[in-house]
Amino acid sequence: MDLRDLKTFLVVAEERSFVRAAERLGCSQPAVTFAVQRLEASVHQPLFLRRAKPPDLTDAGRILLDYARRLCRIRQEATFAMADLRGAAHGALRLGLNDSFVPFVVSVLDRFGLHHPGVRVELRRGRSVDLVAGVSCGDLHGALFSFAPPNRHLSAVPLGRDRIVLVTAPSHPLAAKACVCLDDLAAERLIAHSEPSSLRALVLKTCDQRGLSLQMTALLPTLEAMKQAVTLGMGVTILPLRTVLQDIAEGRLRGIPIAESWAEEEIWFAHSGEHALPAVGQVFVELLRELSEKALAPCSPVVPRSRHPTTIAVARAAVAARSRRASPHRTAARPSSRSG
């Protein structure tokens, strides 16, 4: 049983596609198929139901999947441990996150890649419950959350705080305000994510407590779709500042601070309490902490929009800093197609 074949089998199972697995592994689809067939021959069992679309695991495949994850994780841990000894890390750093953290994490990849060109960063999107499971079993080195995961097997550290803002088109009447409160949104068409989230639950709970009713007129599947709908004037939305920094800096959207006590959230990074975070992972976490302190600045005072609004100034500074740092490198990040 070849470890490389096990890795290929694991990626096919995660992607649920031989084509996407080939793209992720950087090889041809026939090579992926041959590796799986070779593994099936070694265990004398079919691992996938080939006629199913997407391919499903057989009973033997489900059993082997757990072993494949553990073996690949141990191999990666050994690679990082040896690299740490000689001061040069190589391999893959697997991080989990939801849509709201993608722009935040991607913004530090160029800087990280300059110092660690041998490390490939894999970003995997998923629901919070799936990310907790991935970190717990060691499939992920760590994950980002907007809350402290209530799991005793995880070790979580705060990275900083982010401001929750009302996102509008530049021409929207509320875009000229220095700040807003929930009462200002009673007559607005609200756009939200189709998946439940802790932020949406918090907003709705606060409205219920005050007897407010919001007009939730559109539920969209992705963060980008929500921002596009706002740009087109279909309504407004409520998002963490980190998700719209570049949109604000480039003038596509406005971010108006919400003057409510609940309108901040803490950013947490969690890793397994049983599997040590590689040294290179600790470096990445420190870069995220630095970005959260410099770019988000959620606790800075609200400045009227006529006097250089805080959100625009911070956004422009963050984008300018990324532009100065940008240069070619070999670090790659590919968000998984599995989203929650």
Q: For each of the chain's 340 residues, which pLDDT tens digit applies?
A: 888 899 899 889 988 889 888 887 878 889 999 999 999 999 999 999 877 678 889 999 999 998 988 888 787 777 666 766 555 566 778 899 998 999 889 888 888 888 788 888 999 998 888 899 888 877 889 999 998 888 888 899 999 889 999 999 999 999 999 999 999 999 999 999 988 888 888 999 999 999 999 999 999 999 999 999 999 999 999 999 999 988 999 999 999 999 999 999 999 999 988 777 877 788 889 888 888 877 665 434 333 333 334 444 444 444 454 444 444 443 344 444 333 3
- CATH number for position 257: 3.40.190.10
77 and 166 fall within a common domain: no
- CATH number for position 73: 1.10.10.10
Q: How far apart (Å, rounded) are the C-alpha atoms in residues 120 and 92?
A: 5
For position 340, what pLDDT does the model report? 36
Q: Which of 81, 106, 126 is the last residue of a domain?
A: 81
Q: In terms of residue numbers, what domain contains 209?
A: 162-264
φ, ψ dihedrals at 106, nearest 5°: -60, -30
168 and 260 fall within a common domain: yes
Q: Which residue has the tokens 């250089």?
A: 308
Q: Within a domain: residue 253?
A: yes
Q: How far apart (Å, rounded) are the C-alpha atoms in residues 309 and 315?
A: 10
Dihedral angle of Cα 180, 182, 184, 189, to the nearest 10 degrees: 110
For position 336, what pLDDT does the model report? 42
Q: Which of 208, 233, 264 is the last residue of a domain?
A: 264
**Over the Cα atoms of the chain, what is R_g?**
22
Q: Within a domain: residue 47?
A: yes
Q: Within a domain: residue 112?
A: no
Written in H, E and C, the secondary structure of the chain is CCHHHHHHHHHHHHHCCHHHHHHHHCCCHHHHHHHHHHHHHHHCCCCEECCCCCCEECHHHHHHHHHHHHHHHHHHHHHHHHHHHHCCCCEEEEEEECHHHHHHHHCCHHHHHHHCCCEEEEEEECCHHHHHHHHHHCCCCEEEECCCCCCCCEEEEEEEEEEEEEEECCCCHHHHCCCECHHHHCCCEEEEECCCCHHHHHHHHHHHHHCCCCEEEEEECCHHHHHHHHHCCCCEEEEEHHHCHHHHHCCCCEEEEECCCCCEEEEEEEEECCCCCCHHHHHHHHHHHHHHHHHHCCCCCCCCHHHCCHHHHHHHHHHHHHHHHCCCCCCCCCCCCCCC
Spatial CA neighbour of 3 closest among 73, 91, 63, 56: 73
Q: Which of 27, 56, 81 is the last residue of a domain?
A: 81
Q: Within a domain: residue 190?
A: yes
CA distances for 6 relative to 61, 70, 90, 134, angstroms: 11, 10, 20, 18
Q: Within a domain: residue 184?
A: yes
Q: Within a domain: residue 46?
A: yes
pLDDT digits (tens, 9 = 90+) for 200-232: 889 999 999 999 999 999 999 999 999 999 999
pLDDT digits (tens, 9 = 90+) for 88-138: 566 778 899 998 999 889 888 888 888 788 888 999 998 888 899 888 877
Count the residues in the chain.
340
Q: Within a domain: residue 69?
A: yes
Q: Within a domain: residue 250?
A: yes
Total number of domains constituting the chain: 2
